[in-house]
Amino acid sequence: MAAVRALPALAAALLLAAAGQASKYSREANEGLAAAEGKRREAGEFRVVRLNQIWEKAQRLHLSAVKLAELHSDLKIQEKDELSWKKLKAEGLDEDGEKEAKLRRNLNVIMTKYGMNGKKDSQLVDTNYIKDGTESDTLDDPRLEKLWSKAKTSGKFSDEELDKLWREFKHHKEKIREYNILLETVSRTEDSHKNVINPSEENVVKEEILHNKHRELKEKLRSINQGFERLRKVSHQGYDTTSEFEEPRVIDLWDMAKSANFTEKELESFREELKHFEAKIEKHHHYQKQLEISHQKLKHVEGTGDKDHLNRNKEKYAMLQEKTKELGYKVKKHLQDLSSRISQGLQHNEL
C-alpha cells in the first residue's frame, strides 16, 4: 500500500523534472536563435558595405514598418546590380563607366526617396499607399494639385476609386522626382564636359555616356507626359469600367509597351505577363497592409506587459516583415526586367 501511495508522488516528481528539462531546452533554443540573429546582424544585412551603412542609418530614422521593408527591397535590388557590375568590371566590360554612373544615380534616387540625402527639402515619397494621408500629403506640382482637387469634388469617384486615383497621383509624383534627379546629374556632367579644353578619347567616351543619359531622360519624360495625360483624362471623365489594369506601374508599362517596337504576338505575350505582375503587386500590397496592422498591434501589446502575448506578436510581425521584404524584392526585380524589355523596344523605334 505504501508503494501504491508513493506512485503519484513519483509521477509528480518526474513531471516536474521533465518540465524543467523542457524549459531548459526551450530557453537554449531561444538563446541559440538569438545568437544566430546576432551573428547575422554582425555579418551585415547586405554584402555591400555602403548599403549596410545606409540600412543601419535608416533604422535610426524611425521609418514606418512598411517604409523600412520597402527600403530593404530597394537596397536588395541595388545590391544585385552592384554585384553584377563588379563582375562586369573585373572582365573589363564597363570601360566607359556608364553602368557605374547609373548605379550612382540609382542610389541617389533611393537616398532622396527615403529622405536620406542630407537635404532639408527632401521628402519621403509614399509608394506603399497604406495610410490615407491624402489631406496632409502634397503632390509638389500645381497641375497635379489642381487635378486632384477637381477629382475629389467631382462626385464621379467612389471612396475606393479615389484611393486608387491617389495612388496614381503619388506614383506620378515619384516619376517626376526621379526625372529631376537624373536631369540634375546630366546637367552636372555636361558642365564638367564643357570645361574640358582638349578633346581626347576619354571625352568621346563621356559623350557616349551623355547620349545614353539623354535617351534615358527622353524615355522618362515620355512616360511622365503619357502619365499626366492619363491622369487628366481620368480626373475629368472618371474610370473606364473596361480598363484592363488598375495598378499605376502596370498601366505605365502597358502604355509604353504599346508604343514600343513589339509584334502583335509579343505585345499579347507582354499583356499576359503584366496580368501576372499586377497579381504579384496586389499580393505585396496585402502583406504591406498586414505588416502595418501587425506593427500597430505590437506597439499596443508592448504597453500591456503580457510577455506571452508580446512574444506571439513579435513572431508574427517578424514573419510578415520578412515576407513583405521578399515580395517587395520580387516585385521590383520583375518591374526592372519588364522596363528593360520596353526600353529595348523603344530604342528599336529610334533606329
Q: Where are the domains of the chain?
A: 44-114, 142-237, 248-344
**In angstroms, rounded to a whole number, what is the distance separating the alpha carbons of residues 347 and 351?**
7
> pTM, whole model, 2 decimals?
0.73
44-114 and 142-237 share one fold: yes
pLDDT of 33-91, one tens digit each?
Answer: 444 445 555 568 999 999 999 999 998 988 899 999 999 999 999 999 999 999 988 88
90-148 pLDDT, tens digit each: 888 877 777 888 888 889 888 888 888 776 544 444 444 444 444 446 888 899 999 99
Cα–Cα distances (Å) from 273 to 60, 110, 265, 289, in that order, read 38, 27, 13, 25
| pLDDT greater at residue 215 or residue 319 | 319
Q: Is 275 or 118 the better-scoring residue by pLDDT?
A: 275
Residue 246 confidence (pLDDT): 87
Q: How far is CA 217 from CA 125, 187, 249, 339, in A?
A: 20, 11, 18, 14
Contacts (Cβ under 8 Å, ≥6 apart) of 308: none
Residue 119 gets the label, from left (phi > 0), alpha (psi -120 to 50) or beta, of: beta
- Tell whether domain 248-344 is in CATH 1.20.81.10: yes
Q: How far apart are CA 19 and CA 113, in angstroms?
A: 52
> Is 2.120.10.70 the CATH classification of the domain at 44-114?
no
Reduced to 3 states (helix: H, G, I; strand: E, B; else coil), residue 268 is helix
Give DSSP secondary structure letters for 83-122. HHHHHHHHTT--TT-HHHHHHHHHHHHHHHHTT-SS-TT-
Distance from C-alpha of 322 to C-alpha of 280, rounded to nearest angstrom:
16
- The Cα 23–Cα 29 span in angstroms is 10
Cβ partners under 8 Å of residue 143, min gap 6: 228
Residue owning grid cell 495610410: 131
The pLDDT, as a whole number, for residue 43 is: 61
CATH (residue range 142-237): 1.20.81
CB 144 within 8 A of CB 176: no
The single-letter code of the amino acid at 36 is A
